[in-house]
Amino acid sequence: MSDKKNTFYVTAPIYYPSGDPHLGHAYCSIAADVIARYKRLLGFDVMLLTGTDEHGQKIENMANKEGVIPEEYVDGMSQKFKDLWKVLDISYDKFIRTTDSYHKESVGKIFTKLYEKGDIYKSYYKGLYCEPCEAFFTKTKAKVDCLCPDCGRELKYTEEEAYFFKLSKYADKILKLYEENPLFVRPASCFNEMKKFVEAGLEDICVSRTTFSWGVKVPFDKKHVVYVWIDALSNYITALGYENAKSKEELSNFYKFWPADVHFVGKEIMRFHAIIWVAILIALDLPLPKCIFGHGWLLFKDGTKMSKSKGNVISPLDLINKYAVSADAVRYFLLREFPFGNDGNFSFDSFVNRINSDLANDLGNLVSRTTSMILKYKSDGVLNLENLLLGIDEKELISTVSKAKNTYQNLLDSFKFSESLSAIWSVVLQANRYIEKVTPWKLYSSKNIEKLDTVLYILCELIRCVAVLLIPFIPTTSEKIFSQIGISSKGLKTFSSAKVYDSENLVKYKICREKEILFPRIDLKSVD
Ligand code: ME8
C-alpha cells in the first residue's frame, strides 16, 4: 500500500432504495460530508463514497408492487438519493450503485476467490429467515416465539441449498484485532457490544440465495445469487477499482485510498461491518479499515426509531420547505443537537429552537451587527487600519480563537461533531459579549476612532475565523459570510489562516452593502 499520509478515505453507507431517503439517511451522509470537507480544509486528498444498495428480495418486491422491473425501480429511487445529496451539499467523490456493472464484476470475482480459497462452501440451509431484514437466525438467537431479534417481526422457516462463508474461522483473529486496537470500533459502547458478540462464538453465514434472482449471479453456479452483505460491503473496495480496474492507472486509486480511514454506519449495521466485513478482508488478504464508527439513531420522544419500515420518517426536503430554512440549517441542527455516538430524540421544537437560538441569534446577529456598524461608521464600508490598539479584552479574544481552533481540531479528529461546534460557539458567544462590553457606538460618539477601528477589526477577524472553521458544517453560509465581509482571497479561507492577524499583517475588510439575512428566525405562526 502507498504512503497514505496525505489521503483520507471516508464512507457513508450505501442505502437501500426501497423507500425515499429520510432524515436518518441524511444524518450519516452529512456527518461523512463534514469529515470529508474538514480533511480537505486541512489539505488532505479526500475520497468520500456513498451510494445505493440495490439488490435483494426487498427491492424485487417493491418493484413488483409498483409494477415495474427492478432496474427501472432502482434507477428512479437511486436518483432520489442523488437529488437529496445535491440539495444537502453532500460533496461525494463517487456514488456507487451495486447494479453498476463494474461492481457486479468485482463481486463475482470476490465470491469466486473466497470459494477457491475454501472460505466459501456449499451446504444446505435449514432455519429461520426474516424477510424484511434479509437475515437468517438460529433458534437460539430468535426469540422464543420465533420473532426476529432485530425487528421483532415473524420469522419464516426456510430450507434451501446455499453457499456459506466460514466466519467461525475468523473469530480469534477478530478478537485479537479488537484487543490490539480498541479504537477500531467506536464508540466504546459499540466496541463492547461487538467484543461480547464475537466472544460468544461466531457461526458461518449464508452468502447466497436461490429463492430470488435480483442480485449478482454466483459466477460458477448461476442458480445462486450473492446474498446481500458480500455484495453490499464490497462496495467500499470495488468503488476504488478492486477486481475491476482495466489498467494500472485505474487501480492506483485503490492503492491510494485503501484502507479506508473511517466507515460511518448506523449502529444497527455495525455487526456486519466490524465482524463480517473484517473477516472478508482478512480472507482476501487485504488491509483493514482504520476505524468503523457506529452512530446513534434519531428517535421520537416515545423512543421509536425513525425508519422507513415503521413509516414514520421525516423528509429533509419537507423540513427545508415547511420551515423555509436552508440546507445548512438542517446540517447544523443534526450535528449540533445529537452527539454522534448516542441516540437522540428528534422534535420539531428542538429543530426550531436550535436554529433560532444558535444560528439566527448567536451567529446571524454577530455578523449582522458587526457589518451594520462598519457600514454606519465607515461611509465606504472599508476597514483598513494601520495599527491595532489591543487591550486585555482583545488579547483574551485572540487567545480564545486559538484555543477553540485546537479544541475543534482534536474533537473533529475523533468525530465529535456536536462538541466541536460548541468550541466554535465559544468564540461566537464571547464575541457577542465583547460587543456589549466595549459598546462600539459609544466609541464612535466619543470619537475614539482608533479604538473603534480595532474593535471592528477584531470582530471581523473573529467572524472570518469562525466562518473558516464552519466551512465543513455549513459551507454555503461560510461563503456568504466571506462575501459579506469582502473576503475573496482563498488564502484567507484556509485552515491555517484561521487566526487573528496582528499589526504586521492586517487584513483589509470591505463590507458588502447588500446584506442577506443568513438565518431568518423561524416564526412558528407561519409554519403549517
Ligand atoms: O442498512 N437514525 O441501508 P439502509 C439515524 N444498505 N440514522 C439512520 C436512521 C435513524 N433513524 N435510519 C437510517 C442499509 N439511518 C444497508 C447498508 S452499507 C455497506 C449497507 C442511517 O437504507 C444509518 O446510517 O437501511 C443506517 O446505518 C443507514 O441509514 C441504513 O440505511
* CATH number of residue 362's parent domain: 1.10.730.10
Residue 350 C-alpha from the chain's centroid: 21
Task: Judge whether 14 lies within some domain.
Answer: yes
Final residue of a structural domain among 282, 298, 314: 314
pLDDT band at 254 (very low <50, low <70, confident <90, very high): very high
Please choose from 238, 265, 346 the residue to mutate so as to test ligand 1's pocket, defined by most ligand atoms within 8 A of CB: 265
Looking at per-residue pLDDT, the higher value among 211 and 184 belongs to: 184
Residues above pLDDT 70, as percent of the chain: 98
Task: Judge whether 196 lies within some domain.
Answer: yes
Average pLDDT over residues 317-340: 96
- Is residue 346 within 8 A of residue 316, CB to CB? The reply is no
Identify the three-state secondary structure at position 345. strand
- For residues 28 and 139, membership in a common domain is answered with yes
- How many angstroms is it from 122 CA to the middle of ligand 1? 30
- For residues 368 and 261, membership in a common domain is answered with no
SS3 content of the chain, % helix, strand, coil (to 5): 50, 15, 35
To the nearest whole number, what is the mean pLDDT of the chain?
A: 94
pLDDT band at 142 (very low <50, low <70, confident <90, very high): low
- For residues 366 and 307, membership in a common domain is answered with no
- For residues 308 and 408, membership in a common domain is answered with no
Please choose from 27, 281, 340 the residue to mutate so as to test ligand 1's pocket, defined by most ligand atoms within 8 A of CB: 27
Work out how many domains the chain is built from and give that number. Answer: 2
**Amino acid residing at 309:** S
pLDDT for 144 beyond 80: no
**H or E segment and range at residue 250:** helix 248-257
Final residue of a structural domain among 280, 314, 348: 314
Using the structure block, give the residue that is written with the C-alpha cell 468525530.
Answer: 415
- How many angstroms is it from 471 CA to the middle of ligand 1? 26
- How many angstroms is it from 308 CA to the middle of ligand 1? 10
- For residues 302 and 451, membership in a common domain is answered with no
pLDDT for 246 beyond 70: yes
- How many angstroms is it from 280 CA to the middle of ligand 1? 21
Task: Judge whether 291 lies within some domain.
Answer: yes
Task: Judge whether 335 lies within some domain.
Answer: no
- Is residue 502 within 8 A of residue 458, CB to CB? The reply is no
Please choose from 10, 18, 25 the residue to mutate so as to test ligand 1's pocket, defined by most ligand atoms within 8 A of CB: 25
Nearest atom within ligand 1 for CA of residue 236: 19
Looking at per-residue pLDDT, the higher value among 484 and 155 belongs to: 484
Task: Judge whether 339 lies within some domain.
Answer: no
pLDDT for 4 beyond 60: no
Average pLDDT over residues 65-71: 96
Final residue of a structural domain among 257, 280, 314: 314
Average pLDDT over residues 49-63: 95
Nearest atom within ligand 1 for CA of residue 232: 19
Task: Judge whether 326 lies within some domain.
Answer: no
Dihedral sign of CA atoms 358, 477, 432, 377 in order: negative
pLDDT for 141 beyond 80: no
pLDDT for 1 beyond 60: no
Q: Show the cell assigned to 107.
A: 463481486
- For residues 157 and 31, membership in a common domain is answered with yes
Phi, psi of 79 (to 5 degrees): -60, -35
- For residues 164 and 269, membership in a common domain is answered with yes
Residues with CB under 6 A from ligand 1: 13-16, 24-25, 27-28, 53, 232-233, 235, 265-266, 268-269, 297-298, 305-307
- For residues 372 and 490, membership in a common domain is answered with yes
- How many angstroms is it from 360 CA to the middle of ligand 1? 31
- For residues 53 and 170, membership in a common domain is answered with yes
Residue-level pLDDT at 407: 98
- For residues 304 and 367, membership in a common domain is answered with no
Task: Judge whether 342 lies within some domain.
Answer: no
pLDDT for 186 beyond 70: yes
Residue-level pLDDT at 159: 83
For residue 59, the enclosing domain spans 7-314
The Cα 89–Cα 96 span in angstroms is 17
- Is residue 242 within 8 A of residue 254, CB to CB? The reply is yes
Average pLDDT over residues 403-422: 98
- For residues 446 and 301, membership in a common domain is answered with no
Residue-level pLDDT at 396: 96
Residue-level pLDDT at 2: 46
Q: In CATH, what number is assigned to the domain containing residue 201?
A: 3.40.50.620
User: Within the chain, what is the greatest distance between any pair of CA atoms?
Assistant: 89
**Burial (Cβ within 10 Å: 0-12, 13-18, ≥19) of residue 285:** exposed
**DSSP conformation class of 47:** E
Look at ligand 1, atom 27, and give the residue with the nearest C-alpha: 266
pLDDT for 212 beyond 80: yes
- For residues 93 and 205, membership in a common domain is answered with yes
Task: Judge whether 156 lies within some domain.
Answer: yes
**Nearest Cα to 322, choosing from 15, 528, 33?**
528
pLDDT for 3 beyond 60: no
The Cα 98–Cα 235 span in angstroms is 7
pLDDT band at 156 (very low <50, low <70, confident <90, very high): confident
Residue-level pLDDT at 384: 85
